[in-house]
């Protein structure tokens, strides 16, 4: 019996397949496989998604933080670009599964952890997403507060900073509540607007400083290669961890891709280039402020506060747009889907978005941003060590263990093929624990070289362990099984 059909590399359910899972407790409208008609995202949609997410205040400040640790401008930007090229690999590998089978991240996680065990990786990703949601709301709220102070007597309002933060938090929740399609439409128009505003900021920096300014010619503070690498490797891990979250839940977006080619071209052309470009703008603008104002100002809101009210107004809109496009796309979809997956028949994506916002408040983003050490070493470094092993398991399962063959119906069948033992794949749990334990254990005994590369090392350890543990597992379907359930089109999976 054919329960799924593959056409141009996209697998969707047949009418028989839909009937089999429609009443399942693991099924709802947000978690079901996408239909052929819903695969509409082009390369431009994915490029605009990443441009909208990468042009944000945390990106702007990332290079600044690396320079404050002693790097010169090209070392800082080179570290960021290299980190993004590295994390692009798992992003594309996991995106393939989302594109081919049209499943969101929590359902994808059922494949490797089981129907109940999937809550482990989906909630882990969700908690990190909620943390980032709070951080971006705090960035945006603080920027709006600064600009309102510059334009009025806003500073006389009691608790003005917290009011701006809560107001911006509510705006983020409202947009996220409307769902992924609203996010796609917002990103479509936001991307070109943000590029124009970023270029305008760069032109101002160049013309005002009479060139790039002294900061671009400032030497590195490191006196030896050893001193440099002590900072470089944890900084590289931080740059990788910056988007390691999306490396996991990229299926949430790529399930709508028109083709594999569309998501590959769109993501490869936009992520590393936008991150490098906007980081450079941050360095160049700070260089200009050193020349013009006598101090290096890294906060874009503080820079805009020095301009005319009209420019301040435009800058406020730009900051709101930049933060919104990052927050609702990168930091709400994953936790909202994870919450929805806890009780598919009762919880909706919108309810998940609201709960995500509440969890973000509990994580106190103002503390995480209190100093750069908290930001890159406590926040980015720690969650990179936690998410790297999950990335390794996901890649191993789809590419090395199952060789891209999935039975979609079984992902929604309670006590089915992918339920494992009582709904949990203990082999995945062990692979995850080993991948996490090694870097944290090395940190505890002072082997800093392992901890400084925790995301990469954890990924490789869990990938190898999981592949070994899952050899000859009965949940792995053969080519003949795949052929029995799939009506296959012979056209290329990379059709445009």
Higher model confidence: residue 119 or residue 309? Answer: 119
Does residue 481 have a pLDDT over 70? yes
The conformation of residue 477, written as its DSSP 8-state character, comes to: P
Q: Among all chains, which residue has been given the structure tokens 């949430």?
A: 252
The model's confidence at residue 396, banded by pLDDT at 50, 70 and 90, is very high
| CA-wise closest residue to 383 among 133, 136, 128 | 128
Question: Would you state the pLDDT for residue 379?
Answer: 67
Question: Would you state the pLDDT for residue 495?
Answer: 39
Q: Provide the phi-psi class of 416: left if phi over 0, else alpha when psi is between -120 and 50, else beta.
A: beta
Condensed to tens digits (0 to 9), the pLDDT of residues 149-169 reads 887 888 899 999 899 999 999
Mean pLDDT, rounded, for 328-332: 77
Identify the bridge partners of residue 12 per DSSP, sorted by sequence position.
5
- 38: tokens are 């819903």
Give percent above pLDDT 90 in the chain.
Answer: 41
| Distance (Å, whole) CA 311 – CA 317 | 10
406 three-state secondary structure: coil
Higher model confidence: residue 106 or residue 464? Answer: 464
Higher model confidence: residue 226 or residue 329? Answer: 226
Mean pLDDT, rounded, for 18-34: 89
| Distance (Å, whole) CA 480 – CA 104 | 26
Condensed to tens digits (0 to 9), the pLDDT of residues 41-79 reads 999 999 988 988 888 777 877 777 788 778 888 998 999
Mean pLDDT, rounded, for 433-451: 92
Q: Among all chains, which residue has been given the structure tokens 């936690």?
A: 386
Strands 4-7 and 486-488: parallel
Question: Would you state the pLDDT for residue 181?
Answer: 64
State the angle between helix axes of 260-293 and 43-54 in degrees (0 to 180), rounded to the nearest 10: 30
Mean pLDDT, rounded, for 290-301: 76
Question: Would you state the pLDDT for residue 376?
Answer: 54
- Whether the CB-CB separation of 486 and 6 falls below 8 Å is answered with yes
| Distance (Å, whole) CA 117 – CA 139 | 34
Question: Would you state the pLDDT for residue 494?
Answer: 38
The three-point CA angle 326-329-335 to 5° equals 115
| Distance (Å, whole) CA 179 – CA 104 | 13
- Residues in CB range of 260: below 8 A, 6 or more apart: 9, 96, 99, 100, 493, 494
- 76: tokens are 């800082």
Average pLDDT, the chain: 86
**Spacing of C-alpha 84 from chain mean position:** 11
The conformation of residue 37, written as its DSSP 8-state character, comes to: G
- Whether the CB-CB separation of 36 and 10 falls below 8 Å is answered with yes
Condensed to tens digits (0 to 9), the pLDDT of residues 232-269 reads 988 888 888 888 888 998 998 999 999 999 999 999 99
The model's confidence at residue 14, banded by pLDDT at 50, 70 and 90, is very high
Higher model confidence: residue 406 or residue 193? Answer: 406
Does residue 12 have a pLDDT over 80? yes
Question: Would you state the pLDDT for residue 344?
Answer: 81
* CB crowding 379-409: b at 16 or more within 10 Å, else e: bbbbbbbbbbbbbbbbbbbbbebbeebbbbb
- Residues in CB range of 413: below 8 A, 6 or more apart: 20, 21, 24, 26, 419
- Whether the CB-CB separation of 136 and 50 falls below 8 Å is answered with no
Strands 4-7 and 10-13: antiparallel
Structure pTM?
0.85
Domain ranges in the chain? 39-387
Does residue 336 have a pLDDT over 70? yes
Question: Would you state the pLDDT for residue 120?
Answer: 92
Write down how long the chain is: 496
The conformation of residue 398, written as its DSSP 8-state character, comes to: I
Question: Would you state the pLDDT for residue 491?
Answer: 43
| CA-wise closest residue to 69 among 215, 227, 295 | 227
Does residue 373 have a pLDDT over 60? no
| Distance (Å, whole) CA 439 – CA 451 | 5
Outline where 22-118 has alpha helix (H): 43-54, 57-68, 73-101, 105-113
Higher model confidence: residue 264 or residue 334? Answer: 264
CATH class of the domain defined by 39-387: mainly alpha
| Distance (Å, whole) CA 246 – CA 257 | 16
Does residue 490 have a pLDDT over 60? no
Question: Would you state the pLDDT for residue 467?
Answer: 98
| CA-wise closest residue to 379 among 392, 399, 364, 358 | 364
């Amino acid at each position: 019996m054919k329960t799924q059909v593959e056409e141009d590399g996209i697998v969707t359910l047949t009418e028989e397949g839909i009937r089999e899972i429609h009443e399942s407790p693991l099924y709802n409208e947000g978690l079901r496989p996408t239909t052929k008609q819903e695969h509409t995202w082009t390369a431009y949609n994915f490029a605009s998604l990443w441009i909208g997410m990468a042009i944000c205040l945390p990106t702007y400040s990332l290079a600044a933080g690396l320079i404050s640790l002693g790097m010169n401008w090209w070392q800082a930007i080179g570290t960021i670009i290299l980190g993004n090229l590295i994390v692009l690999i798992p992003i594309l590998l996991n995106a393939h599964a989302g594109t081919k089978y049209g499943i969101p991240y929590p359902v994808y996680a059922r494949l490797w952890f089981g129907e109940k065990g999937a809550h482990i990786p989906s909630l882990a990703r969700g908690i990190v997403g909620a943390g980032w949601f709070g951080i971006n709301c705090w960035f945006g709220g603080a920027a709006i507060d600064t600009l309102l102070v510059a334009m009025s007597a806003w500073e006389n309002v009691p608790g003005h900073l917290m009011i701006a933060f809560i107001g911006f938090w509510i705006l983020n929740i409202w947009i996220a509540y409307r769902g992924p399609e609203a996010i796609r439409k917002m990103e479509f128009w936001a991307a070109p607007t943000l590029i124009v505003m970023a270029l305008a900021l760069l032109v101002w920096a160049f013309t005002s400083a009479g060139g790039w300014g002294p900061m671009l010619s400032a030497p590195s503070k490191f006196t030896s290669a050893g001193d440099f690498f002590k900072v470089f490797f944890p900084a590289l891990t931080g740059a990788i961890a910056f988007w390691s979250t999306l490396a996991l839940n990229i299926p949430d977006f790529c399930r709508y891709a028109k083709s594999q080619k569309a998501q590959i071209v769109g993501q490869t052309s936009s992520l590393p280039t936008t991150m490098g470009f906007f980081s450079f703008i941050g360095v160049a603008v700070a260089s200009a402020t050193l020349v013009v104002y006598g101090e290096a100002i890294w906060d874009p809101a503080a820079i805009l506060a020095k301009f005319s009210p009209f420019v301040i107004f435009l800058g406020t809109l730009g900051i709101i747009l930049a933060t919104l496009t990052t927050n609702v796309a990168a930091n709400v979809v994953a936790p909202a889907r994870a919450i929805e997956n806890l009780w598919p028949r009762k919880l909706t994506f919108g309810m998940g978005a609201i709960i995500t916002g509440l969890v973000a408040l509990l994580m106190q983003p103002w503390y995480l941003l209190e100093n750069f050490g908290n930001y890159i070493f406590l926040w980015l470094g720690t969650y990179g060590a936690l998410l790297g092993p999950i990335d390794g398991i996901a890649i191993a399962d789809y590419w090395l263990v199952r060789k891209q063959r999935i039975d979609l119906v079984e992902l929604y069948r309670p006590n089915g093929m992918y339920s494992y033992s009582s709904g949990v794949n203990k082999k995945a749990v062990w692979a995850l624990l080993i991948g996490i334990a090694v870097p944290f254990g090395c940190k505890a005994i002072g082997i800093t070289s392992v901890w400084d590369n925790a995301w990469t090392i954890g990924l490789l350890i869990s990938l190898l362990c999981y592949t070994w543990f899952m050899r000859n597992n009965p949940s792995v379907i053969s080519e003949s099984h795949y052929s029995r359930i799939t009506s296959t089109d012979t056209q290329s999976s990379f059709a445009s």
